[in-house]
Amino acid sequence: MQLGGGLLWVGIAAILCIAASSVDAATTTRPIIGILAQPGPNTGEQYIAASYVKYVEAAGARVAPIFYNETADNVRTLVASLNGVLFTGGGADISVGTQFYSTALVIYNTILQLNDAGIYMPLWGTCMGFELINNLVSNANVLGSVDAENYTVALDFTPEFAYSRMFGRAQPIIIQNLATKNITMNNHMLSVYVSTFNATAALTSFFNVLSTNYDRQGVHFVSSIEGKKYPVYATQWHPEKNQFEWVNEVIDHSADAIYTMQYMANFLVGEARQNSNRFANAAAESSALIYASARHLYDSGETADASFEETYVW
C-alpha cells in the first residue's frame, strides 16, 4: 500500500455507516492491562507514568506492571494471565539488544502466539511504544528524526481508517474531532517516515496505516497504525495526556478532546475484554496489580521527569 498526503474528510458519516463489523461479545468483565515499565533516571529504578494507569482505569480495566528486567519465562507467564498489553511513551533506549527491547520482544512474540492459538489479545503502543512496535515488527531500526515535540495536530486520515477496528465504529463526532481539531498531542523526536514505511515490506504486510501527519518542517510521518491480522495497534500521539497530564505543554484539555480520548481508552479496553485470560487465583492476581507493587508515587514537583504529573517508581 502506498500512502499519499492530504486529509481524507469527505462523506464521513456515510462511510462510517458501512464500516467495520461488530466486535465479538466480551469474554471478561475484569480486564487487566499489562504496562511495560521502563528504566528510570536513577540507576536500578524503573517507572510507569501514572497517566497511563489512569487512562486504562477510566475505561474499566486494572493495571499490572511488567518489569523490563524480568526473566523471559516470567514475562511469558504473566502476559498469558493478562487481557492486553500497553507499551508507553518515554525515553528508553529501544535499540535491538537492550534488555528493554528484549523484554518487549518477548511480550510481542507471546501476544502473537496467543492470537495464533485463537486467544484474541491486543497490544497497544503509544509514542515511544509506537516506535518500539515498528522496530519489533521490522526487526530493524526504521526510525528517522522529526520535529514534533510539544506539538498538537489533527490527524490526516487514510482511506483505510473507515474500515479499521480502531476507528471504524467510532461516532462521526469522534472522527470529526480527530480530523479537524488540533487535539492529538505529539511529543517525539523520532518516527517512521511515510517513505520508510512504504519501502519496508515487513511493515506494509503487517499494518494498515490509518493516519499520517507532517512535522513542523514538513516531514511526513506515520501517526496511527493497526495490524491487518493481529490486534496490534499504535499511535505516535498521546491519547492519555489530554485527560491526565497538566504539565506546561500544549495539551488540549477541551471537552471535545477529553470525549475523543475517552473513546480511545474505551477501544483499547474493549479489545482486552475479548479474551478470558486470568490469573491462577485471586492471590496471584492481587499481587500482580500495580497497587500491590508500586514503591512510590511521585508528583511532578518531585520527579526528575517534568513530563508527568505522577509516576509509579520501583
- pLDDT tens figures, 93-146: 999 999 999 999 999 999 999 999 999 999 999 999 999 999 999 999 999 999
Closest CA to 36 of 105, 93, 87, 106: 87
C-alpha cell belonging to residue 266? 474505551
DSSP class of residue 163 equals G
- pTM of the entire predicted model: 0.91
Burial zone of 93 (CB within 10 Å; 0-12 exposed, 13-18 middle, 19+ buried): exposed
Query: How many other CB atoms are there within 10 angstroms of residue 20's CB atom?
Result: 15
The residue ranges of every structural domain in the chain are 29-313
Query: How confident is the model at residue 17, as a pLDDT?
Result: 38
Query: How confident is the model at residue 16, as a pLDDT?
Result: 42
What mean pLDDT comes out for the span 79-89?
99
Query: How confident is the model at residue 44, as a pLDDT?
Result: 85
- Percent helix, strand and coil across the chain, each rounded to 5? 35, 25, 40
Catalytic residue among 17, 188, 220, 238: 238
pLDDT over 50 (residue 287): yes
Question: Is 17 an annotated catalytic residue?
Answer: no
Mean pLDDT score of the chain: 91
pLDDT over 60 (residue 305): no
Query: How confident is the model at residue 25, as a pLDDT?
Result: 54
Q: β-pairing, 46-49 with 310-313?
A: antiparallel
Catalytic residue among 127, 220, 253, 296: 127
| Alpha helices per DSSP H over 63-98 | 72-81
Query: Which of these ranges, 10-19, 224-233, 248-257, has the smallest mean pLDDT?
Result: 10-19
What mean pLDDT comes out for the span 243-267?
97
Q: Return the ∠ at Cα 239 (arms to 237 and 242), rounded to 5°.
A: 110
C-alpha cell belonging to residue 24? 465479538
CA distances from 143 to 80, 92, 146, 309 (A): 30, 14, 9, 28
Please give the sequence-ordered ranges of beta strands (E in DSSP) within the chain, or none if there are none. 32-36, 38-39, 46-49, 62-66, 84-87, 123-126, 144-153, 156-157, 184-191, 207-214, 220-227, 232-235, 296-299, 310-313
Question: Is 296 an annotated catalytic residue?
Answer: no
Alpha-carbon torsion (299, 70, 30, 281), positive or negative: negative
pLDDT tens by residue, 139-182: 999 999 999 999 999 999 999 999 999 999 999 999 999 999 99
Q: Given 3.40.440.10, 3.40.50.880, 3.40.50.300, 3.30.499.10, which CATH number is that of 29-313?
A: 3.40.50.880
Cα dihedral angle (78, 233, 206, 187), rounded to 10 degrees?
-110
